[in-house]
């Protein structure tokens, strides 16, 4: 039976809903989709030349096999899985885990937990890492570390690797290194690849041509997911089904082309803040994943031909209903410079009845004998209604259910929308040159060989700035 598909509801960006000053007309959308569909045709053509390689991941049955084999080898007896990675080597892992395992999976015992507890260490905060080391203590032998770094050069991941490698070698002995550490990295090059070869670690590949933030459907995201009981074949199946839709040059069948068209039309009109607001705890970390994808791919100071241009929508995450009590005042009455992207779920994994409690004040009567899913979705509908009343454009991505298939669809939808938006904004969505400077100066401040020029520049800047504190 075919899995149900997620849907993009764009009724509340139309001028009929929010007025001509802020809404889009159907003819404007139609014109925009013609351009977006030209971009789709171009992307499909470029795929044949080996570009946009992330699009091939869902159909890569070999990848699923390689990951499943590794899971079979490493899972027995493992109680804790610690992912060491950052950015595109971490956010997808976190998003899949939150979306597809129970909210308090980490606390579940026995069969209620389908695999090891998962800790994704995407920072180098000493208090955080120190606490994990303390708590792993006696369980270190039952802990597997998955070092994920495509480049193998990232300072944060390298530092974590050195710490945990040392811990394992000292506490469990050198022989444990290859038993308790598995590496996901470039199959041919980079420092981590060198270490894999010299120390003999089991390694999973980050496929060449797939950048970090587009790599969640490769071994980068699939290994931790499969270790924790997520059905990665179904996840890939969902992404593949969406992959077919986002290849379509018929706008009415291609939600990525429509999404890119609408967000680009608003970008041109000056609404450059894109707020993703899931009304489901399970989808909250997908908003974080989207934030990186959208920001790092589309914020560029050069166009695709290297000419100067400053562009980039700013992605923002919020969570319904929580942030109604934090952000919605600004969203309704502050500047009308945002597009809202709600994520709504029709059928939750569980529902909870709100009971009728005799003797409670009549003012609580409306809640009794209803359910939490009804309340949460009513809050979404009401918030959207209130935003529409203030002429704010709103999109909804509707999940019939949250499962591997729909999450795979969502991932592919946004990845493809990113590629299409990259074409519409005439930029390269796959590089991140601005991130490099901070990395280089970190190397310089940490004394890495070859970064003397940056160290001198930093010293000059620090001297000129002097001390300005109160
Ligand atoms: O999307 C990206 O390319 C980045 O966010 C990287 O994933 C991040 O910098 C980590 O890089 P690496 O996997 O090489 O350690």
- Residue 150 Cα to ligand 1 middle (Å): 7
* Window from 58-62, 150-154, 321-325, 353-357 with minimum mean pLDDT: 150-154
- Give the number of other CB atoms < 10 A from CB of residue 102: 15
456 carries an active-site annotation: no
**Residue 107: per-residue pLDDT:** 96
Distance between CA atoms of residues 378 and 464, nearest Å = 56
Q: pLDDT-derived band of residue 111, with 50, 70 and 90 as boundaries?
A: confident
**Pocket lining: 98 vs ligand 1, CB cutoff 6 Å:** no
For residues 268-297, average pLDDT: 98
pLDDT at 468 over 90: no
All structural domains of the chain, each given as residue ranges with its CATH number in brackets, are 7-48+235-424 (3.40.50.10490), 54-230 (3.40.50.10490)
What are the distances in angstroms from CA 117 to CA 36, 48, 101, 224?
Answer: 42, 40, 11, 10
The overall average pLDDT reported for the chain is: 96
Distance between CA atoms of residues 306 and 16, nearest Å = 40
pLDDT at 1 over 80: no
Cβ atoms 5, 387 nearer than 8 A:
no
Q: pLDDT-derived band of residue 461, with 50, 70 and 90 as boundaries?
A: very high
Where b means 16+ CB within 10 Å and e means fewer, 59-77 reads: ebeebbebbeebbeebbee
Q: pLDDT-derived band of residue 118, with 50, 70 and 90 as boundaries?
A: very high
Cβ atoms 443, 155 nearer than 8 A:
yes
- Residue 225 Cα to ligand 1 middle (Å): 19
**Residue 74: per-residue pLDDT:** 98
**Pocket lining: 88 vs ligand 1, CB cutoff 6 Å:** yes
For residues 40-69, average pLDDT: 97
**Residue 252: per-residue pLDDT:** 87
- Give the number of other CB atoms < 10 A from CB of residue 24: 21
- Residue 303 Cα to ligand 1 middle (Å): 22
Cβ atoms 227, 71 nearer than 8 A:
yes
The catalytically annotated residue of 48, 175, 307, 325 is 325
- Residue 413 Cα to ligand 1 middle (Å): 21
Rounded CA Rg of the chain: 24
**Pocket lining: 423 vs ligand 1, CB cutoff 6 Å:** no
For residues 441-457, average pLDDT: 96
**Pocket lining: 157 vs ligand 1, CB cutoff 6 Å:** yes
pLDDT tens-digit series, residues 121-179: 999 999 999 999 999 989 999 999 999 999 888 999 999 999 999 999 999 999 999 99
- Give the number of other CB atoms < 10 A from CB of residue 156: 21
- Among 88, 191, 418, 442, which is best to mutate for testing ligand 1, by the most ligand atoms less than 8 A from CB? 88
pLDDT at 466 over 90: no
467 carries an active-site annotation: no
Q: pLDDT-derived band of residue 467, with 50, 70 and 90 as boundaries?
A: confident
pLDDT tens-digit series, residues 411-438: 999 999 999 999 999 999 999 999 999 9
pLDDT at 331 over 80: yes
Distance between CA atoms of residues 101 and 168, nearest Å = 28
For residues 291-298, average pLDDT: 98
**Residue 66: per-residue pLDDT:** 98
The catalytically annotated residue of 234, 302, 439, 448 is 439
**Residue 49: per-residue pLDDT:** 95
**Residue 336: per-residue pLDDT:** 98
pLDDT tens-digit series, residues 181-237: 999 999 999 999 999 999 999 999 999 999 999 999 999 999 999 999 999 999 999
pLDDT at 26 over 80: yes
pLDDT tens-digit series, residues 338-392: 999 999 999 999 999 999 999 999 999 999 999 999 999 999 999 999 999 999 9
Where b means 16+ CB within 10 Å and e means fewer, 313-341 reads: bebbbbbbbeebeebbeebeeeebebbbb
Q: pLDDT-derived band of residue 299, with 50, 70 and 90 as boundaries?
A: very high
């Amino acid at each position: 039976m075919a899995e149900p598909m997620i849907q993009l509801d764009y009724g509340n960006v139309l001028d009929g809903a929010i007025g001509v000053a802020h809404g889009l007309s159907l003819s404007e959308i139609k014109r925009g989709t013609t351009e977006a569909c030209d971009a789709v045709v171009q992307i499909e053509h470029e795929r044949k030349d080996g570009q946009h390689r992330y699009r091939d991941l869902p159909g890569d049955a070999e990848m699923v096999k390689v990951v499943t084999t590794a899971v079979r080898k490493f899972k027995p007896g493992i109680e804790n899985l610690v992912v060491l990675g950052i950015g595109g080597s971490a956010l997808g892992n976190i998003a899949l885990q939150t979306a597809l395992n129970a909210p308090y999976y980490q606390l579940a015992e026995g069969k209620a937990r389908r695999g090891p507890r998962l800790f994704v260490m995407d920072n180098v905060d000493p208090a955080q890492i120190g606490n994990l080391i303390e708590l792993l203590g006696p369980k270190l032998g039952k802990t597997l570390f998955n070092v994920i770094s495509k480049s193998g050069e990232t300072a944060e991941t390298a530092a974590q690797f050195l710490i945990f490698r040392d811990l394992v070698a000292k506490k469990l002995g050198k022989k444990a290194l290859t038993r308790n550490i598995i590496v996901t990295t470039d199959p041919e090059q980079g420092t981590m690849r060198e270490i894999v070869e010299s120390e003999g670690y089991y390694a999973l590949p980050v496929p060449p041509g797939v950048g970090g933030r587009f790599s969640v459907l490769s071994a980068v995201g699939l290994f931790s997911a499969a270790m924790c009981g997520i059905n990665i074949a179904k996840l890939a199946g969902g992404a593949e089904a969406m992959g077919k839709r986002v290849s379509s040059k018929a706008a009415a069948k291609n939600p990525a082309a429509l999404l890119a068209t609408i967000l680009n039309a608003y970008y041109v009109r000056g609404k450059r803040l894109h707020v993703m607001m899931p009304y489901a705890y399970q989808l909250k970390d997908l908003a974080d994943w989207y934030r990186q994808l959208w920001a790092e791919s589309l914020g560029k100071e050069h166009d695709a031909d290297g000419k100067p241009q400053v562009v980039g929508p700013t992605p923002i995450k919020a969570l319904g209903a929580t942030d109604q009590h934090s952000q919605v005042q600004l969203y309704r009455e502050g500047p009308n410079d945002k597009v809202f992207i709600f994520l709504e779920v029709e059928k939750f994994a569980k529902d909870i009845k709100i009971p009728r409690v005799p003797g409670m004040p009549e003012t609580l009567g409306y809640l009794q004998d209803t359910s939490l899913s009804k309340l949460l979705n009513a809050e979404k509908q009401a918030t959207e209604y209130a935003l529409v009343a203030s002429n704010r454009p709103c999109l909804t991505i509707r999940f019939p259910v949250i499962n591997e298939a729909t999450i795979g669809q969502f991932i592919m939808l946004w990845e493809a929308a990113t590629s299409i938006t990259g074409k519409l904004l005439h930029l390269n969505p796959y590089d991140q040159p601005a991130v490099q400077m901070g990395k280089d100066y970190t190397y310089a401040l940490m004394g890495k060989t070859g970064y003397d020029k940056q160290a001198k520049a930093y010293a000059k800047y620090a001297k000129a700035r002097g001390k300005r504190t109160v």
